Amino acid sequence: MSELLISDDCKQQSYISSNTTEVDVDYYSKEYTDILKQSQVCNQHMENYENFCINHEKPSCKQCVLEHHNKCGESVIPIEKACQNCKRSMTIQEVHGLICNMFKGIELIRDDRKDYLSSIHEQTVKIMTQIHEARQNVDEYLDKDQKRSTEKINDTLQVNDEMNMMSKIDRTLQNLERDMKDSVLISTAIKVIKKSRVEGLEDVKELKIRIDLETKKIRTTFKTHLDTIQQLLTEELDNIKKDAFTNEEALNAVLLEIERKMEMYKFIICRVEKESTDQDAFLVIKTIEEEVIKANESVQAINLDKTSISCKIDPKIENMIPSSSSFGCLNIKMKESAVCLPSRKLNQAQTIISVPVVNIANVTLLLKKTINTRGKCIEGCCLFDDGKIAFSDIEQSHLIVIKKGSGYYTVPISPPPNGIAVIDTITVAVSAEGTPPHVISIVNIKTKAIVEKITIGYPVDGIIFNTEFLFYTARENGIQKYNLAKKEKVAGLNCNTQRYAKLDMLGNKLYFNDASDHAVTCFDISKGKTYWQFRDTKVLKRPLSIATDKYGNVFVADFIQHEVILLSADGKVHKVLMSSEDGLFHPKTLFCSKTDNYLLVANKQENAFLYKLKYS
């Protein structure tokens, strides 16, 4: 039996592919049963899952713990503890968000490919017109040349009737060769006739007939040759167009299969929410999450480069030399697509929301890299999925992008940049603090271009990107939202923020600092009120930046004390994680990668530090 795949409840929860029509619910019900069984058992050891490792975010059987998690200590917890209140946590909504991003990414690819095929068609039409015009010019030239040649022959033959026959023929050929040296047909015909040493020519009338025959013969040869080389060029162009359309058909088949799987996962999630226990739901969601991440990686790896075609007509053809060996050549260049696909890190799936608070006493740092930022006043920083690191320097009015291997480059920004938020692997949003004009700049760090400026109308300090929204601190205007997809402002949050306030987000919680009040606030978006606040003038002298890890622990950069303070997820416990002994001197900004467990901390000038977070 067939019916609509997604229930009305599920459709209200998240984005559904525009290609969703009717599906076999019986088939997906069977898939649900299969994945429910498979998710309970370790594929490697064929034993039931009994534990969950917080460090690796993976369920594990007894054998897995011995082989892979023997150094994870307290991070390995019973599976029952990990899945507590799973169906009431943010877990399912976050995986819904991942699937939602997949549909959006596929739609972006389809729109991009549609524009690409339209462009290929327009380019081929333009080139075909160029080829036909060049051929028409050559044909018109040869027509005029042949007509002019005939008239000149008739005129020349009337000269010196009293000369003997051979002298008259010689003089006629000389006159034609002199007067018609720019004629392709005549000059070629005379060369042919001269080779025969005018044998067999009894009078000039026969010479005229001979020249006429030769010019027509040459014209026919030229036409055949031009037809051949023009056809070769046309066939090459047709093959390029055909290959483009064939590749797009294959890509569309891949996208349809991925969509089918995403639709199936949405169906299974709906069943899980209604029918399964917390433990079953947790394991199924973890299994689906892994599959969605794999699918996302395959989509991110799709080559979306575009072929750009131009044609250069052979100069000999343009100069009316029809004996050219080529009609022209096609210039083919590959251009990168400008489409920006949603990446996993944009909506870091907090699948372990229900896991108990991590003891911050066990949190340690492993230094991976010390970075020379070359900055004079670093205000913001971020990490990209592909390993790049970016810093905003408000004094030098540019972004500093550190490449994954080595080397760096700068991206000029005006007005000077303050906060920075990753949108995708080549795009960031940059705030401008109190410097007019009050805008948020959307910057392509690859092309070094500001692709859009969003007018805000008031100073903006901190900024983050989550799903399709920009969240930013706007001082007395509180925390505001902007829908980047729809390009419109959305109702903000009723919470007061001060200058230098930076922010981060985890699930339905927003975190921001108050430098003048020596405080850090956790704000519950779903309830519209403060969840907790940490305020201690002895601990926080001038907190200028914050970031959260995947467990809700909060890292705070204290500018005056040259420290990074770690606050527990409930805001009740704190400890000094870094100090001046670790190289900190006026730390101004930090960033935490929730998927990779990396912490990036940057001083106002010169050095930044990249650490791996350890939880045991």
Supply the pLDDT for residue 9.
42
pLDDT at 75 exceeding the cut of 80: no
Q: Which CATH class is domain 360-615?
A: mainly beta
Supply the pLDDT for residue 512.
95
Rounded Cα–Cα distance for residues 427 and 106 (Å): 19
- % of the chain exceeding 70 in pLDDT: 83
pLDDT at 557 exceeding the cut of 80: yes
Give how far Cα 490 sits from Cα of 94, 469, 509, 525, 554, Å. 21, 9, 18, 14, 27
Supply the pLDDT for residue 369.
92
Rounded Cα–Cα distance for residues 506 and 466 (Å): 10
Residue 601's φ and ψ, nearest 5 degrees, are -125, 130
Mean pLDDT value across the chain: 83
What are the sequence ranges of the domains in the chain?
A: 360-615
Give how far Cα 271 sits from Cα of 29, 39, 275, 595, Å. 9, 15, 6, 27
The whole-model pTM stands at: 0.56
pLDDT tier at 289, thresholds 50, 70, 90? confident
Supply the pLDDT for residue 153.
67
Phi and psi based region of residue 536 (left: phi greater than 0; alpha: psi -120 to 50; beta: remaining): beta
Supply the pLDDT for residue 64.
92
Rounded Cα–Cα distance for residues 543 and 498 (Å): 12
Supply the pLDDT for residue 125.
93
The mean-pLDDT minimum among 152-156, 441-445, 517-521 falls in 152-156
| DSSP string of 545-611, one letter each residue | EEEE-TTS-EEEEETTTTEEEEE-TTSS-EEEEE-GGGT-SSEEEEEEETTTTEEEEEESSSEEEEE
Compute how many other C-beta atoms are within 10 angstroms of the C-beta atom of residue 32: 22
Supply the pLDDT for residue 352.
38
- % of the chain exceeding 90 in pLDDT: 39
Supply the pLDDT for residue 17.
45
| Of residues 544 and 289, more confidently modeled | 544
Token pair, residue 434, equals 């109190």
Rounded Cα–Cα distance for residues 269 and 513 (Å): 37
* Contact of 304 with 112, CB cutoff 8 Å: yes
Supply the pLDDT for residue 440.
93
pLDDT at 333 exceeding the cut of 50: yes
Rounded Cα–Cα distance for residues 549 and 322 (Å): 72
Rounded Cα–Cα distance for residues 509 and 526 (Å): 8
Pick the most confident of 17-31, 76-90, 404-418, 557-571. 557-571
Supply the pLDDT for residue 462.
92
